[in-house]
Amino acid sequence: MVWNRSPARFDALEKAIASGPRSATWASTAAEVIDRCDVTFAMLSTPAAIKSVFHAGGALNAIAPGKALVDCSTLTTDDMRHTAAAVHARGGRFLEAPVSGSKVPAETGTLIFLCAGERALYDGVAPALDAMGKRAFFLGDEVGNGTKMKLIVNQIMGTTLAALAEGIALSEAIGISVNDLLEVLYVLSVSLLIGPVVAVLDVCWVVDAPTTANNVPTYFFIPEIRA
């Protein structure tokens, strides 16, 4: 069962899975998903979206004893703990599982889940995490640890991206081909620990194109670094 704030997104999902053995049912509200499913995976884009759907929107009112919520959003630690407390207050189970990865890893099932909370729930949803990602980490029973790890990773990626932008600007200013720079960085990545640079290149750079691939919009990324 699936719900999205943008109903048109369901059409794309339905087409994507049409050739497989599974099907999806559209729910009219987020609360309906929680009400009809034992485990609900949520991934909303911002803390404001979480507050709108879960709290002001009343979705968490559908939590009942034994029902589980796995929140894959990237929030602040306070937001994640607030959601966990609301779920626990209604007798539910909670796991935070923010993801490292953008549009392409989501489409190819290669996300990385950074989890914390109830270990038994983590173990129970492990097959689903394996289906959606290439690796899942359990970072302890303290809700917020997954978010902390995600924000650390994003800080490293953001710093790397800023350094890469400086290097590209310098290359252009002194007449060095940017494509040559990128090729050198790719070659160096074999022997040097600059994996984050290569990861950023894969996500953000289109060689010989005037614009970058918009897989990680800066209006999501910058607030996460500041957090």
Residues assigned a catalytic role: 150
Instruction: Give the helix ranges, DSSP H, for the chain.
Output: 8-17, 30-36, 47-50, 77-89, 103-108, 119-132, 145-173, 178-188, 195-204, 218-226
Q: For residue 86, count other CB atoms closer than 10 A to its CB.
A: 17
166: burial class by Cβ within 10 Å (0-12, 13-18, 19+)? exposed
- φ, ψ for residue 6 (rounded to 5)? -110, 95
Q: Which amino acid is residue 226, in one-letter code?
A: R
4: burial class by Cβ within 10 Å (0-12, 13-18, 19+)? middle
